[in-house]
Chain A
Amino acid sequence: MYIKIKNKHIELIKSANPYLIFATIFAFVIGLYYSLFQSPPDYIQGDSMRIMYIHVPSAWFALMTYSILAGSCVLWFITRNPLFNVVARSIAQVGMVFTLMSLITGSIWGKPTWGVWWVWDARLTSMLILFFLYIAYIFLWQAISNKELASKISAALAIIGFINIPIIKFSVDWWNTLHQPASISKLSAPSIDVSMLIPLFIMTGACFLFLVTVSLIRFRLVLIENKMLRTSSL
């Protein structure tokens, strides 16, 4: 059982890096231009809602990254293909950054909107817990010195965390709810204006590019690291 990735694939990823980095920066510049200058201010919240253009995509990707992480851990256990483990390990850090980003921007947005930096409702709380799940996954891997064992153990933990998040969301929901209802999930009848959707989608694309770029860099590093672990053990 070995990773069927040859040096030329790693080289290919390496050579694609500059283009991806450029595309990410470009997408962010365009996205920020649209969201700051080309979209109207919200007629209730004013200019403060512009932070939504960074908050919403990072919250989406925080959740999506964790789903990919847990999904690839499950696939790793089923198929025993170590590539899934490499995928999980490469995206964990990016996911943590997205979660932190959505928490910080959410707070900044919350201050003018609700008058407080933080509200103890289901979505915010489970996001905070998600952040600690990322931390637990990353640091448990580092704490165990046998790296093959570490990958298996932290993968098991990631799956348990995936079960835990809906439970926490349900429990806090049951406890109290202050948050405004989800407005973007139903795209068929969007309750926000099209002029606001355009920058939101560009920013989502930019965040996606960011995710792909950083993950690929990490992917290459993890592969090289694995290779070094393999050769250095004798």
Chain B
Amino acid sequence: MNELKTENLSCKRGENAVLNNVNFSIKSGETLVVKGRNGSGKTTLLRILSNFITSYEGKVMFNGISISEDSLYNSKFNLIGQKNSLKENLSIKKNFDLWDILFNEALDHVKLLKHNNLYHLINRDVGSLSDGQKKCISLHRLNYKKYELWFLDEPFVYLDEVNTHLLIEKINQFNENMGIVILTSNINLPKNFHKEINI
């Protein structure tokens, strides 16, 4: 049973306070939806949770240990940022090869792409795809298995209805396998997600 928890988390970017006393606690099998206006610090929150920003006030604890002191924490989360992490001048297949090495895990990409109806694109250069297709390919990283936490920054942007449902299904499935999901989004999601905070 894992638990990710923040206590009085505040963060300043320059002279501006971006996050002010953010408190939440989330356990295995739950999903937290972070809402807020543009520039309210949703991305900052995810970057704090993934140990990129280390200058903040308050506490972020994973299973009772501060995340900056837990040496194994970095290998437990999978962060999907707003950038796609794809090389535009390479084909999807080559991009997947590069990811496999970085993530140190070989996936059966053909099967997974067939499931998403993207298999016919596998030899196309990423630069020639539409934004929605790029986003789908980018979210393909969620198939890497060894992670206990998912941090998704605006995952639904550019996605059509079918793919939005597929992603929600995937998140639910991850929750059933006791995974924790934190995602930022401004669209109204179905009520089956567990928790919601406004910052």
Q: Residues on A close to B: CB < 8 A?
A: 2, 147-148, 229-230, 233-234
CB pair B14 A234 closer than 8 Å: no
Instruction: Report the bound CA distance from A2 to B15 in whole Å.
Output: 7
Closest residue of A by beta carbon distance from B40 = A234
CB pair A234 B15 closer than 8 Å: no
Closest residue of A by beta carbon distance from B14 = A148
What is the total of A-B residue contacts with beta carbons within 8 Å? Answer: 12
Closest residue of B by beta carbon distance from A227 = B15
Interface string of B7-19 (1 = CB under 8 A from A): 0000001111000
Residue B39 at the A interface, CB < 8 A?
yes
| Contacts A/B (CB < 8 Å), 8 sampled | A2-B15, A147-B14, A229-B14, A230-B14, A230-B15, A230-B16, A234-B16, A234-B39
Which of B13, B14, B16 has most chain A Cβ within 10 Å?
A: B14
Q: Is chain B's interface secondary structure helix, strand, loop, or mixed overall?
A: loop
Instruction: Report the bound CA distance from A233 to B12 in whole Å.
Output: 13
A234 CB contacts on chain B under 8 angstroms: 16, 39
Report the minimum CB–CB distance from A177 to chain B (whole Å).
48
B13 CB contacts on chain A under 8 angstroms: 148
Closest residue of A by beta carbon distance from B15 = A230
Report the minimum CB–CB distance from A227 to chain B (whole Å).
9
A148 CB contacts on chain B under 8 angstroms: 13-14
Closest residue of B by beta carbon distance from A149 = B14
Instruction: Report the bound CA distance from A2 to B39 in whole Å.
Output: 22
Report the minimum CB–CB distance from B57 to chain A (whole Å).
13
Instruction: Report the bound CA distance from A176 to B10 in whole Å.
Output: 58
Report the minimum CB–CB distance from B88 to chain A (whole Å).
22
Instruction: Report the bound CA distance from A147 to B15 in whole Å.
Output: 12
Report the minimum CB–CB distance from A132 to chain B (whole Å).
29
Kindly identify, within residues 78 to 121 of chain B, every residue whose CB is under 8 Å from any CB belonging to chain A.
none
Report the minimum CB–CB distance from A104 to chain B (whole Å).
39
B39 CB contacts on chain A under 8 angstroms: 234
Report the minimum CB–CB distance from A141 to chain B (whole Å).
15
Instruction: Report the bound CA distance from A230 to B15 in whole Å.
Output: 6
Report the minimum CB–CB distance from B6 to chain A (whole Å).
23
Closest residue of A by beta carbon distance from B13 = A148
B14 CB contacts on chain A under 8 angstroms: 147-148, 229-230, 233
A233 CB contacts on chain B under 8 angstroms: 14, 16
A229 CB contacts on chain B under 8 angstroms: 14
Closest residue of A by beta carbon distance from B12 = A1
Report the minimum CB–CB distance from B29 to chain A (whole Å).
37
Instruction: Report the bound CA distance from A234 to B39 in whole Å.
Output: 8
Q: Which 10 A-B pairs give the minimum distances between C-beta atoms?
A: A230-B15, A148-B14, A233-B16, A2-B15, A234-B16, A234-B39, A230-B14, A230-B16, A233-B14, A229-B14
Report the minimum CB–CB distance from A151 to chain B (whole Å).
10
Closest residue of B by beta carbon distance from A148 = B14
B16 CB contacts on chain A under 8 angstroms: 230, 233-234
A-B contact sample (9 more), CB < 8 A, given A233-B16, A234-B16, A234-B39 = A2-B15, A147-B14, A148-B13, A148-B14, A229-B14, A230-B14, A230-B15, A230-B16, A233-B14
Which of A2, A147, A234 has most chain B Cβ within 10 Å?
A: A234
Which of B13, B15, B39 has most chain A Cβ within 10 Å?
A: B15
Report the minimum CB–CB distance from A91 to chain B (whole Å).
23
Report the minimum CB–CB distance from B195 to chain A (whole Å).
27
Instruction: Report the bound CA distance from A229 to B39 in whole Å.
Output: 15
Closest residue of B by beta carbon distance from A233 = B16
Report the minimum CB–CB distance from A225 to chain B (whole Å).
13
Report the minimum CB–CB distance from A10 to chain B (whole Å).
17
Kindly identify, within residues 1 to 53 of chain B, every residue whose CB is under 8 Å from any CB belonging to chain A.
13-16, 39
